[in-house]
A and B are shown apart, each in its own frame.
Chain A
Amino acid sequence: MTLRYDQVSYSYPGTSTGVFDIALEIGRGELLAIIGASGSGKSTILKLLAGFLKPDTGRILIDGKDVGASLPEARRLGVVFQNYALFPHMRLWENIAYPLKVRGIAKQARRARAIEMLGRVGMGKRAEDYPAELSGGQQQRVALARALVFEPQGLLLDEPLSALDAGLRLEMRDEILRVQRQAGIATLLVTHDQEEALSIADKVVMMRDGRIVQIGTPRELYETPADASVAAFVGQSNLWSGSVSGDGMVTTPIGALACDTHGKSLGTKVTVFVRPERVEPITGPVDASNPCCFAGSMSADRYLGPVRRIDMAVAGGAIRLETHLRGPITGVTIPHDAIRLLPPTS
Chain B
Amino acid sequence: MPFVAIAYLIFLAAPVLLLFVGSFGEVWSGTLLPSGFTWRWYQEVAGDPSFRRAFTTSLKIVATTCILNILIGLPLAYAIHAGARGGVRLAARIVTLMPIAVPELVLAFGFILVFSSDALPWLGSFWLLAAGHLVLTLPYTVTALVADMDQLGLAEYEHAAATLGASFPARMWDVTLPQLHTSLLSCMLTVAALSIGEFQLSNLVSGFLSRTYPVVLLQAFYGATGFACAATVVLLGLAMIASLTSGLTARVTGRRKVGADA
Binding site for B on A (CB under 8 A): 50-52, 71-73, 75-79, 81, 83, 85, 87-91, 93-95, 97-99, 101-103, 107, 110, 114, 146-147, 150, 156
Do B261 and A102 touch (CB < 8 A)?
Answer: no
Residue of B156, B165, B178 near A85 (CB, 8 A) is: B156
Residue of A51, A71, A73, A95 near B262 (CB, 8 A) is: A95
Residue of B nearest to A52 (CB): B159
Q: Does B208 contact A (CB under 8 A)?
A: no
Residue of B160, B179, B261, B262 near A79 (CB, 8 A) is: B160
Provide a sorted-by-A list of 19 A–B residue pairs whose CB atoms are within 8 angstroms: A50-B159, A73-B162, A77-B163, A79-B160, A83-B156, A85-B160, A87-B157, A87-B174, A87-B175, A89-B179, A91-B262, A99-B164, A102-B165, A102-B166, A102-B167, A107-B261, A110-B262, A114-B262, A150-B164
Kindly state the separation between the CA atoms of A155 and B178 in the bound complex, as whole angstroms. Answer: 27
Q: Annotate B177-216 by CB proximity to A: 1 below 8 A, 0 otherwise.
A: 0110000000000000000000000000000000000000
Residue of A nearest to B167 (CB): A73
Do B159 and A79 touch (CB < 8 A)?
Answer: yes
Do A85 and B157 touch (CB < 8 A)?
Answer: yes
Kindly state the separation between the CA atoms of A89 and B182 in the bound complex, as whole angstroms. Answer: 12
- Closest CB-CB distance, B249 to chain A, in whole Å? 18
- Closest CB-CB distance, A33 to chain B, in whole Å? 19
Q: Does B18 contact A (CB under 8 A)?
A: no
Q: Does B83 contact A (CB under 8 A)?
A: no
Q: Annotate B39-61 by CB proximity to A: 1 below 8 A, 0 otherwise.
A: 00000000000000000000000
- Closest CB-CB distance, A77 to chain B, in whole Å? 6
Residue of B153, B166, B257, B258 near A98 (CB, 8 A) is: B166
Residue of B178, B179, B262 near A101 (CB, 8 A) is: B262
Q: Annotate B147-179 by CB proximity to A: 1 below 8 A, 0 otherwise.
A: 000000100110111111111001000110011
Do A102 and B164 touch (CB < 8 A)?
Answer: yes
Residue of B161, B163, B174, B258 near A75 (CB, 8 A) is: B163
Contacts of B164 in A (CB 8 A): 73, 78, 98-99, 102, 146-147, 150
Residue of B161, B162, B258 near A89 (CB, 8 A) is: B258
Kindly state the separation between the CA atoms of A298 and B166 in the bound complex, as whole angstroms. Answer: 60
Contacts of B160 in A (CB 8 A): 79, 81, 85, 87
Across the A-B interface, the 8 shortest Cβ-Cβ residue pairs: A94-B262, A85-B160, A99-B164, A72-B162, A79-B163, A89-B178, A102-B166, A97-B262
Do B161 and A98 touch (CB < 8 A)?
Answer: yes
- Closest CB-CB distance, A58 to chain B, in whole Å? 21
Do A83 and B153 touch (CB < 8 A)?
Answer: yes
Residue of A73, A90, A93 near B163 (CB, 8 A) is: A73
Do A73 and B153 touch (CB < 8 A)?
Answer: no
- Closest CB-CB distance, B4 to chain A, in whole Å? 40
Other than the given A102-B170, A147-B164, 18 more pairs (CB < 8 A) read A50-B159, A71-B162, A76-B165, A77-B163, A79-B163, A81-B159, A83-B156, A85-B157, A87-B157, A87-B161, A89-B178, A89-B179, A89-B257, A98-B164, A101-B174, A101-B261, A101-B262, A102-B165
Residue of A nearest to B166 (CB): A102
Q: Annotate B238-262 by CB proximity to A: 1 below 8 A, 0 otherwise.
A: 0000000000000000000110011
Do A98 and B174 touch (CB < 8 A)?
Answer: yes
Interface size on B, residues (CB 8 A): 21
Contacts of A90 in B (CB 8 A): 262
Residue of B nearest to A47 (CB): B159
Do A93 and B262 touch (CB < 8 A)?
Answer: yes
Contacts of B166 in A (CB 8 A): 73, 98-99, 102
- Closest CB-CB distance, B178 to chain A, in whole Å? 5
Known contacts A83-B153, A89-B179, A98-B174; A103/B165 CB under 8 A? yes
User: Could you say which of B161, B164, B170 has the most chain A C-beta atoms within 10 Å of its C-beta?
Assistant: B164
Do B262 and A78 touch (CB < 8 A)?
Answer: no
Kindly state the separation between the CA atoms of A251 and B261 in the bound complex, as whole angstroms. Answer: 71
Do B163 and A72 touch (CB < 8 A)?
Answer: yes
- Closest CB-CB distance, A150 to chain B, in whole Å? 7
- Closest CB-CB distance, B167 to chain A, in whole Å? 6
User: Could you say which of B159, B160, B175 has the most chain A C-beta atoms within 10 Å of its C-beta?
Assistant: B160
Kindly state the separation between the CA atoms of A3 and B205 in the bound complex, as whole angstroms. Answer: 63
Kindly state the separation between the CA atoms of A91 and B257 in the bound complex, as whole angstroms. Answer: 13
Kindly state the separation between the CA atoms of A63 and B164 in the bound complex, as whole angstroms. Answer: 19
Residue of A51, A73, A81 near B156 (CB, 8 A) is: A81
- Closest CB-CB distance, A281 to chain B, in whole Å? 49
Contacts of B174 in A (CB 8 A): 87, 98, 101-102
Do B262 and A85 touch (CB < 8 A)?
Answer: no
Contacts of A110 in B (CB 8 A): 262
Residue of B nearest to A93 (CB): B262
Kindly state the separation between the CA atoms of A107 and B260 in the bound complex, as whole angstroms. Answer: 12
Contacts of A87 in B (CB 8 A): 157, 160-161, 174-175, 179
Contacts of B159 in A (CB 8 A): 50, 52, 72, 79, 81, 85
- Closest CB-CB distance, A175 to chain B, in whole Å? 20
Kindly state the separation between the CA atoms of A93 and B262 in the bound complex, as whole angstroms. Answer: 8
Contacts of B156 in A (CB 8 A): 81, 83, 85
- Closest CB-CB distance, B122 to chain A, in whole Å? 42
Kindly state the separation between the CA atoms of A72 and B166 in the bound complex, as whole angstroms. Answer: 9
Contacts of A147 in B (CB 8 A): 163-164
Residue of B nearest to A77 (CB): B163
